Amino acid sequence: MADIQQTTNKQHRMLKISILRFNPQDPESVPHMQTYELEESDSMTLFIALNELRDTQDPTLQFDFVCRAGICGSCAMMINGKPGLACRTLTRDLPTEFTLAPLPAFELIGDLSVNTGKWMRNMSERMETWVHMKEEEVDLRKKEVPMDPQLAEDIYVLDRCVECGCCIAGCGTVRIRPDFVGGVGINKIARFRLDPRDTRNDADYYDIVGDESGVFGCMSLLACHDFCPKELPLKTQIAFIRRKMAEQGMRGYDKVLPTQKKAIPIKPARQ
């Protein structure tokens, strides 16, 4: 009973949320910060706060979300200057006054909404992020070749990328070179390089990431690793792929030689 009384009487903080507002579709729109006040509730996430603001104060506020569970990657934004997922950020972990802005480097749709899908699609097409098999046509009657469980687990770790764009928003190289593939792109090469079904070798991967828009453009400041909300091991993957591509550049392995699909130690990013 005393606990219930305590919860009822609990004082909630008043939040002051300053949001960068701009609608590129409206010729009258000018970028500006707009501040909203909102009473915090228990376990409030930024996603809940934004929906409450839109429902009760400003129906014109634009932002994206789909899953509310850190799976779709669509609610990424700059939270007090750092990239993060709105649905995975608790307001109690933020000060009472904070700012929200759209992710840089992506096409702005309006306010906090950006077109990460267009950027990711361009990158995926350029890097051919799919399994390249020898057979022209897949024979569905053929028995599947079982994969070593540890290798499947290692591939799964890298495959957890939700294409949220936080690594791109935090990347210094992207600001200088808009064609840079970032942590997300290099991680995808690491993922397919590990996959025994992908018949490409290091000469093929070198054609894709062996230049300054790929691994050799990376400045290794590792903001991508620090801001990845899925805690992908980007630090180890970037270092590993850069080493392999440097070897390829120096030794010039032939395209016909298969690449050894050696697993690299994959640990959770924050360890």
Which residues contact ligand FES (rule: CB under 6 A)? 65-68, 70-75, 85, 87
Reading phi first (left if > 0) and then psi (alpha if -120 to 50, else beta), residue 105 is in left
What part of residues 210-229 is at the interface with ligand SF4 (CB under 6 A)? 218-224, 228
**Which residues in 136-165 contact ligand SF4 (CB under 6 A)?**
161-165
28 — phi, psi (to 5°)?
A: -85, -15
Question: At a CB cut-off of 8 Å and minimum separation 6, what does 194 contact?
Answer: 151, 154, 155, 158, 261, 263, 264
Among 44, 101, 112, 171, binds ligand SF4 (CB under 6 A): 171
- Please choose which of ligand FES, ligand SF4, none residue 53 contacts, taking the beta carbon within 5 to 8 angstroms, the exact cut-off set by kind: none
Region from 7-15, 38-46, 57-65, 178-186 binding ligand SF4, contact rule CB under 6 A:
178-186
> Does 184 participate in binding ligand SF4 (rule CB under 6 A)?
yes
Evaluated on CA atoms 195, 200, 202, 207, the torsion sign reads negative
User: Is 77 or 123 the residue whose CB approaches ligand FES more closely?
Assistant: 77
Q: Which is nearer to ligand FES, 65 or 253 (CB)?
A: 65
Rounded to 5 degrees, φ, ψ at 22 are -170, 135
Give whichever of 21 and 230 is closer to ligand SF4, judged by the CB atom.
Answer: 230
**Cα(33)–Cα(74) distance, integer angstroms:** 22
Output 70 or 104, the one with its CB closest to ligand FES: 70
From ligand FES, ligand SF4, none, which one binds at residue 183 (CB under 5 to 8 Å depending on kind)? Answer: ligand SF4
Tell me if 74 sits within 8 A of 86, measured CB to CB.
no
Percentages helix, strand, coil for the chain, rounded to the nearest 5?
40, 15, 50
Report the residue number, 74 or 187, with the smaller CB distance to ligand FES. 74
- Helix or strand (DSSP H, E) at 14: strand 14-21
Q: Which residues 6+ apart lie within 8 Å of 178 measured at CB?
A: 105
Min dist CB 144 to ligand FES, Å, is 31
Closer residue to ligand FES in complex, CB, 48/238: 48
| Residues in contact with ligand SF4 by the rule CB under 6 A | 73, 161-167, 170-173, 182-184, 187, 218-224, 228, 230, 232, 238
